[in-house]
Amino acid sequence: MRGTGPGAITPDGCAVECYAQLRARDEPELIHGAVTENASILELGAGTGRITHPLVALGHRVVAVDESPDMLEHVKQAEVVCCPIEVLDLRRRFDAVVLMSFLIEIPDDDLMRAFLRTCRNHVHEDGCVILERHRPGWHDTVEPGEFVDDLGRTIRWRDISRPADGLLVMTVDYESDSARWTHSFMTRRLDDDRLASELSAADLEIDTFLSPDRRWVRAIPARRCDHDD
């Protein structure tokens, strides 16, 4: 991500100032409804705490993980860990592990699978993993467009291309009165069958979809059936 104003840029190219302005929508309540009361939550890719802070306010004990120390400087009232997701090893388990912001759809398969291993290694056997992906069909149908968010910023997506089956490349502009940020990225479609397969390889399985559009997924450690001989 590049911008017209000053500010720190994360290792993956995101402008910290831009992310610090974002506000939670219905995500905290959705997560809250999918986990136990007063849950211990490991939030992977927490950024500046857009979701962290509401989860803490809802009574959860959150550990916020991000590879950017500049992002984590904005996180308050939660334990923070500065580390890439793929190599995280806290030697602790949590009631819930959250991987949102479409990180599961990263086009690097090895990295995506490392993310899932991190999720599995940190969740209790009776806990859950909450994933956010784009709704099924989005990669094949999204077209250029724009809208004005609740902060008065114009958000525009453009330069959309599909270089291969399941892959999408696009650029997103964020414009306010004082600054403009531009972020170009590639994402890979993760349909239900592929998701189930990748979860199974990580010793996880789909428990339920948390939203009607199947964008939010609740996974659990794979059930094992023990049979007596």
- Same domain (yes/no): 129, 217: yes
The answer to whether 127 and 118 are in contact (CB under 8 A) is no
The answer to whether 7 and 16 are in contact (CB under 8 A) is yes
**Domain count for the chain:** 2
Tens-binned pLDDT, residue by residue, of the chain (229 aa): 444 444 566 566 566 676 666 778 899 999 999 999 999 999 999 999 999 999 999 999 999 999 999 899 999 999 999 999 999 999 999 999 999 999 999 999 999 999 999 999 999 999 999 999 999 999 999 999 999 988 788 999 999 999 999 999 999 998 887 778 888 899 999 999 999 999 999 999 999 999 999 999 999 999 865 444 3
CATH number at residue 122: 3.40.50.150
Residue 10 lies in a domain: no
- Same domain (yes/no): 85, 103: yes
Look at residue 224 in the predicted model and tell me its pLDDT.
67
Look at residue 6 in the predicted model and tell me its pLDDT.
44
Convert 138-172 into a string of H (helix), E (strand) and C (coil). HHHHCCCEEEECCCCCEEEEEEEECCCCCEEEEEE
- Same domain (yes/no): 101, 209: yes
Reported pTM = 0.90
- Same domain (yes/no): 53, 116: yes
Beta bridge partners of 183: 172
- Same domain (yes/no): 119, 142: no
Beta bridge partners of 218: 130, 208
Residue 1 lies in a domain: no
Look at residue 3 in the predicted model and tell me its pLDDT.
41
Whose structure tokens read 């330069």?
159
Q: Which structural domain range is residue 22 located in?
A: 17-136+189-221
